Amino acid sequence: MKIVVVKDYAQMSIKGAELIAETVKSNPEAVLGLATGSTPEGLYSELIRMHKEEGLDFSKITTVNLDEYYGLSGDHPQSYRYFMNEKLFNHVNIDKNNTYVPNGGAEDIQEECKNYDKNIEKLGGIDLQLLGIGGNGHIAFNEPEEELNFGTHLTDLTKDTIEANSRFFDSIDEVPKKAVTMGIGSIMKAKKIVLLASGKGKAEAIKELTSGKITTDSPATILQVHHDVTLFVDEDAASLINISK
Ligand code: GLP
């Protein structure tokens, strides 16, 4: 695992965007695994800038998102489909038909989960997977549990995550209690993984992630066995690990 400590959120966003841009340039038909949350917002703004000012070309790129709230359809302002359209897809030359986000409003959610993994296989797998991390060590919506799921599945959100994500909703009661998420296996099959973390709230999860131990109590720790992971962490998120810049 390559750990790159950067000064702050802005630097983390630029470094992450540079890595994605490299992939897009070297393979214009790449499949990118994308994430939502506050963490990648700056990275998406930087990709938009690169597209507008430097002609970074997304016309043949395919994207696959990690997760979606259960029960929210793509036109709900708090849905992750809506987020992706607003924060990235509407501002670059990507073909929206080539952007995949789980359908949280699907009538048959089990079928939706099965088809989501099948589609990733059909696309030839994910070339580069972008990840954030929850304060409790979750990746996508793979929450700390006794067992972790391999494939895309419907999951209960923990109290911590519901509370953390309530900042985007008018009230905590509006936060969905379940989500559809890619599983640990779907994520680990990506050829390359880049994880971003910023702020003191992520320091404990980053400490666990770099501890040399793997535990389902902190799902991100499984990433330590992947052969190509880069962490871009700012000084606050890195404050509990012993790595100099
Ligand atoms: C969310 C998402 C994750 C994200 C994490 C951290 O609930 N499901 O994909 O990485 O929690 O979010 P944030 O970047 O807002 O701190």
Judge if the beta carbon of residue 195 lies within 6 A of ligand 1: no
Mean pLDDT calculated for residue range 11-37: 98
- Report the pLDDT value the prediction gives residue 243, as an integer from 0 to 100: 65
pLDDT digits (tens, 9 = 90+) for 114-167: 999 999 999 999 999 999 999 999 999 999 999 999 999 999 999 999 999 999
Judge if the beta carbon of residue 68 lies within 6 A of ligand 1: no
Query: Where are the domains positioned within the chain?
Result: 2-178+222-232
pLDDT of 245 strictly over 70: no
- Residues 138 and 197: beta-carbon distance below 8 Å: no
- Nearest ligand 1 atom to the CA of 199 is 16
Q: How confident is the model at residue 242 (pLDDT cuts 50, 70, 90)?
A: confident
pLDDT digits (tens, 9 = 90+) for 208-223: 999 999 999 999 999 9
Residue nearest atom 3 of ligand 1, based on CA coordinates: 140
The helix or strand, by DSSP H or E, that contains position 17, with its residue range, turns out to be: helix 9-26
Residue nearest atom 9 of ligand 1, based on CA coordinates: 140
Judge if the beta carbon of residue 134 lies within 6 A of ligand 1: yes
pLDDT digits (tens, 9 = 90+) for 67-107: 999 999 999 999 999 999 999 999 999 999 999 999 999 99
CATH of domain 2-178+222-232: 3.40.50.1360
- Report the pLDDT value the prediction gives residue 211, as an integer from 0 to 100: 94
